[in-house]
Amino acid sequence: MSNTSKYASNAILWIVLLTMPYWMSAIGGYTELATRVLVLGLAAMALNFLLGFTGVLSFGHAAYFGLGAYGAGITIRYLVPSTPVGILVGVLVGTLAGAVLGALIVKLRGVYFAMVTIAFGQVFYFIAFRWNAVTGGDDGLTGWKRLPLDLGFSHIDILGNDKAFYYLVLVIFAVSAAVMALLLRSPFGRTLLAIRENERRARFLGIPVEQHIWIAFVISCFFASLAGTLYALLNNFTDPRALHWTLSGNFVIMAVLGGMRSFWGPLVGAAIFVVLQDYVSSHTENWMSFIGLFFVLVVLFFPRGVLGIFRRKSAS
């Protein structure tokens, strides 16, 4: 794909994102659905930073997503009634957990790494499920809500105004995407690609593989926990399902659907997954069967994901 077509596709993408709240209703959607696409798209891109660009599969990223959600909710309810502080605490909790656990499992590879990430994720899930006094248990963490932002010179109502909250999430998403893009284009990012393509050769070149994978894991957990805080603020609620390994599986599905070797693939996959889930679930209780069948068909016939189809057409 030429630079001109890349710039054109990026421009189209941002135009779509900037105008989404104004045309979603025309196709049967709503602003909250658009916000969900951004939030889960950020979570899928965070996972893909590790999966698509480092070659390490994690099935436990919902743990850091959920820790971010609970960190934000618990902070606002019990500690400081402030939306920015809630986001900050949630991201800090999720990132610290990722840093500690990543150091313990960084030497594992393949299915062993994936299974251990599931195991650690389920530990957090059962803590949230059983700790009724703080987390609300299976009923979820309630009795709190996102609060308006007081910037001193301006007052932004993100509680009663869904569009205002969407654009707040869009700003955070844009900054996060820019940071991830800069990291992947840096020498560090090129090193991650070298590890993904041939880890043994990277070791022979003197690259500290475990150290790079651990840093990539922590960065990935940082953005996953940031997405988790936004998801909790979107719903004014969180429950143990935000920590369950099945949500991690959804993140993987989103990355694969869109194209895990492309930067914007997970966002496209998240948009397809979220919109399809919302539409099909409103018509039948068996919506998971339809999404599963759709995913199988994409993997069988378009292994590079949806963006891979357009790349192949542009190359030809």
The confidence score (pLDDT) of residue 284 equals 82
CATH topology of domain 3-315: ABC transporter involved in vitamin B12 uptake, BtuC (1.10.3470)
The confidence score (pLDDT) of residue 315 equals 46
Domain residue limits, the chain: 3-315
Q: What stretch of H or E contains 43?
A: helix 31-54
**Would you say 32 and 90 are in contact if contact means Cβ atoms under 8 Å apart?**
no
The confidence score (pLDDT) of residue 213 equals 97
CA distance 49 to 183: 10
Residue 294 tokens, joined: 């759709």
Q: Please give the sequence-ordered ranges of beta strands (E in DSSP) within 45-102, or none if there are none.
A: none
Residues of the chain whose pLDDT is less than 70? 1-3, 152-153, 310-316
Burial of residue 16, with CB atoms counted within 10 A of its CB: 0-12 exposed, 13-18 middle, 19 or more buried: exposed
**The model's pTM:** 0.94
Distance, CA of 153 to chain centre: 32
CA distance 316 to 103: 44
Residue type for position 186? S
CA distances from 296 to 71, 272, 313 (A): 35, 14, 22
The confidence score (pLDDT) of residue 316 equals 47
**Would you say 67 and 124 are in contact if contact means Cβ atoms under 8 Å apart?**
yes
Residue type for position 220? S
The confidence score (pLDDT) of residue 2 equals 59
